[in-house]
Structure 1
Amino acid sequence: MSINRISLYHLETLLWIARLGTFAAAAEKLNTTQPAISARIGELEERLGAKLFQRNGRAANLTPAGRQLVREYRPIWDQLQDTLLRSAGFDQIRGIVRVGAGEIAAATCLPRFVAETQDRWPDLTFEIEIELTAPMIQALLNGRIDLAFAAGMVAHPALRATPIGAAELLWVASPPVAKQMEEESDAVFSLWSLPSHSPIYQVMKDALDEIPVKKHVINLCSNVRMIIDIVTIGNGFALIPKSMIRSQLENGSLVQIMAGWQVEPIMFHVVARAAEGDPVVNQVVRYASGLTLESDPFVRGSRVGRVGAPSSL
């Protein structure tokens, strides 16, 4: 055993493979190649005199010796990273943080979050993906993104979440369609919604038995702004976050309908991996958790929840 020849990058590589599940994912995270990752693990195994991974196709599964090493070393690594950042007063935060956000968060708190964090840490850069909640949560679990601004209250033991506010939802239509809905109760109307794995779709479906429009055809679109455009030009009605249609409501191109059939607001959370060990990501997540959904009622929960990919998405 040659432990004096083991470097921090060997152990960092071990932890990222254990967390992400494949050599390829670890290579992408560490900005290197898969052969370089394989070489590091080969060196580490040789110097420890123990096999750490069993390869099964692309998947890399820890051996008993590997699991023990990861369990005992991870707290040391996390403490080392936090100590280094504290000694620098967090002024040296740098690197690329990958963020996932839904359209509502992207239209409210996300621009302010990016501007403020980059003003505070100029060397920090972002890669942002705008996505629906279910695939965004899966990307977080797979390690393709580092944190997410996600809609809905769901559960997953590998994730932690902090509520940052609630988005009010309104039934809306163009003025001509709104008038037709009042005058022609037997007509068939188009109802536009996000896909079935969206929390807003579930809210909409739960409300359908109560609303007075009994004849409708549900159309799906993965883009909220496209739905807004479709409804604004006079095709059907939709359940839309108020924060995304303020200008249309003000200029009269959209009007609220069925005001007596209000639905519960959608709660938003900042979501990260529960076992996240990267101190830069953890610091950014802590900063993001202090945000609110701009121009929407702020509802902060009294406890941290857990978010994931449930049946409601």
Structure 2
Amino acid sequence: MFTLKQMEALYWVATLGSFEAAGSYLNVTQSTISKRIGELESRFSAPLFDRSSRQSVLTSKGRDIRDIAEQMLRLNDRLTLTARTSNAPPFRFRLGVTDLVALSWLPELLATILDRYPGISLEPEIDLTAGLLERLTERKIDFVICPRVTQHPQFVNMRLGEIELVWMCSPKIYNGSEVLTKVEMLRYPLLIQSAGSMLRPILHDVIDNPRLPFGKTISCNNMAALAELAAYGLGITILPKAFFSRYVDDGRLHVMKSEFELPKLEYFITYRNDYNGAFFEEIAEISRDLCDFTKDLKKPEGEVFGN
């Protein structure tokens, strides 16, 4: 009898290009993958892999079996989601998010996933958008939440929501209600995210505007660090308003009015459509329900800051 583990081994060897990569993805040894493939091939009169190639390339018969294997794995995903029991087979879920997600609603997302799938192995990664999408393309992560989509038929993109961006600075620099003029803005350094961040291309028309020739800039790849630098009085910056509202409430940051308007920061969910599609779709729906970029920056009940 054929087994799902044999189908899974064939599918991932064919998809990732080697027995070693498939073993790493499935968290088993290379010899285990070889054994499963050997068991599968023994049932057919024709080989499933071309042994003359250095890479693990499927034969014509192998490609036919791979298509069947993919269908079987998709049906197994649907059956697992329908059952939704704690006895569902465990598997790895490699989730990539930006620091904005990690510092707000990621803990609740992970807790919800673990509650629904107790046997799952979670592997969250926090990185800049460019790094996350690169790792998604390389199949090193499976599911990404970030402010950009990748236009390729092997990926599904879902819009998650948008965030208002505002100019911010320390009240020590500016605490007025009138619109800050260009001359007044250029008196201070610009604190901005580094090139790998999606804020850079989104804000290109603002921060690279020849009408705003900042004499000095300080780049950083962490949004929370930028908020701290701005609160210290080192310059002006651009931050998500809701996420850093507590800084404003505490009097550490001030929202500046400027003639240079800022675009919205849109967030998206991106995942592969060739495996675990039903599971990823459910995680996407959970993400939509839980998405709240103000969550962890709200003052916890009963907590006294400064103690």
Check 1:285–1:208 CA distance in 2 against 1; reply closer, same or farther (3 A cut): closer
> Which of 121, 134, 144 in structure 1 is aligned with 2:140?
144
Residue 158 of structure 2 corresponds to residue 162 of structure 1: yes
Unmatched tracts of structure 2, length 5 or more: 296-307
TM-score normalized by the length of structure 2: 0.80
Residue 187 of structure 2 corresponds to residue 191 of structure 1: no
Q: How big is the shift at 1:120?
A: 3.1
Check 1:194–1:7 CA distance in 2 against 1; reply closer, same or farther (3 A cut): same
Q: Which residue of 1 aligns with 2:67?
A: 71
**Structure 2 counterpart of 1:145, one-letter code:** I
Q: Which residue of 2 aligns with 1:127?
A: 123
Secondary structure at 1:178 match in 2:
coil
Identity of aligned residues (%): 24
Contact kept? 2:166, 2:241, Cα under 8 Å: yes
Q: Which residue of 1 aligns with 2:304?
A: none
Contact kept? 2:8, 2:69, Cα under 8 Å: no
Secondary structure at 1:252 match in 2:
coil
TM-score normalized by the length of structure 1: 0.79
1:189-242, Cα deviation, whole Å (9 max, x unpaired) = 322222223221112222236696433333322111122222221112221112
Matched residues in 2 for 1:191 and 1:183: separation?
Answer: 13
Check 1:294–1:187 CA distance in 2 against 1; reply closer, same or farther (3 A cut): closer
Secondary structure at 1:244 match in 2:
coil
Q: Over the residues paired in the alignment, what is the CA RMSD in angstroms?
A: 3.1
Contact kept? 2:78, 2:278, Cα under 8 Å: yes
Matched residues in 2 for 1:178 and 1:31: separation?
Answer: 54
Q: How big is the shift at 1:27?
A: 0.9
Q: What count of residue pairs does the alignment treat as equivalent?
A: 290
Q: Which residue of 2 aligns with 1:11?
A: 7
Check 1:111–1:55 CA distance in 2 against 1; reply closer, same or farther (3 A cut): farther
Contact kept? 1:152, 1:266, Cα under 8 Å: no
Q: Which residue of 2 aligns with 1:223?
A: 222
1:1-313 matches, within 5 Å, as 4=1, 6-48=2-44, 49-53=46-50, 59-86=55-82, 88-93=83-88, 94-178=90-174, 185=184, 189-208=188-207, 213-277=212-276, 280-295=279-294
Contact kept? 1:172, 1:255, Cα under 8 Å: yes
Matched residues in 2 for 1:102 and 1:77: separation?
Answer: 30
Matched residues in 2 for 1:125 and 1:238: separation?
Answer: 38
Contact kept? 1:270, 1:285, Cα under 8 Å: yes
1:28-68, Cα deviation, whole Å (9 max, x unpaired) = 222211232233324433442314256866x5333333222
Check 1:236–1:40 CA distance in 2 against 1; reply closer, same or farther (3 A cut): same
Contact kept? 2:10, 2:69, Cα under 8 Å: no
Contact kept? 1:166, 1:293, Cα under 8 Å: no
